[in-house]
């Protein structure tokens, strides 16, 4: 009966779908073959928190599985990154309270925590990339990324001058890449000029270009110890308004014109649309930061048994690749790399 073509069959829709997309999903080997995006450990930058001391390990309560480490305890973690194929570490300091000042000038100290950690890491693991944050919030007594005027407004050009000194201190210590996360205007150009003028022509700049004034940074501020100092104030006068995307393109264009080698969108998952627009428009190395609050959400839901930890972790990370990221800063880097290399 199916073989018989009747006038009725010709006039009504075919009883079979003309296309069966499910053919490509039927078995694991075919899904493997047609997969468009893949995660590998080489996609990750692992953000780590360091503090002074030896054998000192302090868990960050709002980021289960994340600890602030002294240098001696960080070295084996760096070794693990090398073993797993994670190309870069991103360093964030927790600075002793008595070193914090309104102008954050400890950030310029060539013998400060970050320059010492950079030198030690590069000596021990020259094959591991090290990147540092350029911003004053870990060093200021008020927890803002820059200096304040009498009204409490964050000064731009005065802050940029200090940031330039901070970036130079990191470059002199041998850092591979600096990442200005402060959102001051003109800082990429100023830092690039200073790096060139001092012969640091190889130091890469990853600009936090589209960095939003986000509530998802809360746990990070606990980790670096800026949350209490910041109190009820916010960063709305320099970080971007979460409502905007055209503005993100403008920020990226400026940072590239000023000499950035790579750009970043931050936070990650709530801003995948911004990531896609940036990648499509500029076609430069583009990174996403899956921030502390995103990590905390997934960890909390998994700890409650509401989500499958490993599956949501890999799905969330893959989403960044699909949205156009060339790489991801993620606190899941070690966990994910271990799963992916099993
Ligand atoms: C500091 C900085 C922040 C983050 C990275 N660098 C916090 C902020 O801007 O307040 C956030 C990272 C995270 O939440 O994981 N300039």
Query: Helix, strand, coil: what percent of the chain each, to 5?
Result: 45, 15, 40
pLDDT in tens, 153-162: 999 999 999 9
Please give the CATH architecture assigned to the domain spanning 39-340. Alpha-Beta Barrel (3.20)
| pLDDT of 168 strictly over 70 | yes
Question: Which has the minimum average pLDDT: 9-13, 87-91, 146-150, 187-191?
Answer: 9-13
For residue 115, what are the CA distances in angstroms to 65, 218, 333?
A: 26, 26, 23
DSSP of 143-183, one letter per residue? --SS-B-TTSPBPSHHHHHHHHHHHHHHHHTT-SEEEE-S-
pLDDT digits 0-9 by tens, 200-234: 999 999 999 999 999 999 999 888 888 888 988 99
pLDDT in the model for residue 2: 54
Q: How far is the CA of 340 from the centre of ligand 1 (A)?
A: 27
CA-nearest residue, atom 10 of ligand 1: 217
- Confidence band for 239, pLDDT divided at 50, 70 and 90: very high
pLDDT at 6: 56
Atom of ligand 1 nearest to the CA of 218: 14
User: What pLDDT score does 320 carry?
Assistant: 98
Pick from 2-6, 187-191, 259-263, 270-274: least confident: 2-6
pLDDT band at 8 (very low <50, low <70, confident <90, very high): low
Residue 256, SS3?
helix
Asked, as a colleague might, if the bond just before 267 is cis with ω within 30 of 0, I would say yes
State the chain's mean pLDDT as an integer: 95
pLDDT for the residue 232 = 85
What pLDDT, on the 0 to 100 scale, is given for residue 225? Answer: 81
| Mean pLDDT for the stretch of residues 271-288 | 98
Calculate how far, in angstroms, residue 177's C-alpha sits from the geometric centre of ligand 1.
17
- Give the closest residue (by CA) to ligand 1 atom 7: 217
Distance between CA atoms of 306 and 285, rounded to whole angstroms? 35
SS3 206: strand
Q: Which residues are catalytic?
A: 211, 266
Residues 260, 266, 269, 272, Cα dihedral to 10°:
-50
- Measured by CA distance, the residue closest to atom 5 of ligand 1 is 181
DSSP bridge pairs for 57: 69
Whether the pLDDT of residue 15 is over 90: the answer is no
List the single range of 17-21, 68-72, 179-183, 189-193 with lowest mean pLDDT. 17-21
Q: What ipTM goes with this model?
A: 0.96
pTM, rounded to two decimals? 0.94
| Probe target for ligand 1 pocket from 49, 135, 143, 217, with the most ligand atoms within 8 Å of CB | 217
């Amino acid at each position: 009966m199916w073989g018989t073509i009747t006038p009725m069959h010709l006039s009504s829709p075919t009883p079979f779908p003309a296309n069966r997309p499910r053919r490509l999903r039927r078995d694991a080997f075919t899904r493997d073959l047609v997969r468009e995006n893949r995660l590998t450990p080489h996609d990750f930058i692992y953000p780590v928190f360091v503090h002074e001391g030896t054998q000192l390990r302090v868990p960050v309560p709002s980021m289960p599985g994340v600890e602030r480490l002294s240098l001696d305890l960080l070295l084996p973690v760096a070794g693990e990154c090398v073993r797993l194929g994670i190309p870069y570490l991103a360093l964030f300091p927790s600075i002793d309270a008595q070193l914090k000042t309104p102008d954050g000038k400890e950030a310029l100290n060539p013998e400060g925590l970050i320059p010492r950690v950079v030198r030690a890491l590069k000596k021990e693991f020259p094959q591991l990339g090290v990147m540092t944050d350029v911003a004053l919030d870990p060093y200021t007594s008020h927890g803002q990324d820059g200096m304040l005027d009498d009204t409490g407004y964050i000064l731009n050009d005065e802050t940029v001058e200090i940031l330039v000194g901070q970036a130079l201190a990191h470059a002199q210590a041998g850092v591979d890449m600096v990442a200005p996360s402060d959102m001051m205007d003109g800082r990429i150009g100023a830092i690039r000029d200073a790096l060139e003028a001092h012969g640091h022509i190889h130091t890469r700049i990853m600009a936090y270009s589209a960095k939003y004034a986000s509530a998802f940074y809360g746990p990070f501020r606990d980790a670096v110890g800026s949350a209490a100092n910041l109190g009820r104030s916010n960063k709305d006068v320099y970080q971007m308004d979460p409502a905007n995307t055209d503005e993100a393109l403008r920020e990226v264009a400026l940072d590239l014109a000023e000499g950035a080698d790579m750009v970043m969108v931050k936070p990650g998952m709530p801003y995948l649309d911004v990531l896609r627009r940036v990648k499509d428009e500029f076609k430069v190395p583009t990174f996403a930061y899956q921030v502390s609050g995103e990590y905390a959400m997934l960890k909390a839901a998994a700890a409650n048994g509401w989500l499958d930890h490993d599956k949501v972790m890999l799905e969330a990370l893959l989403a960044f690749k699909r949205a156009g990221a060339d790489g991801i800063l993620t606190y899941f880097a070690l966990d994910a790399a271990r799963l992916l290399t099993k």
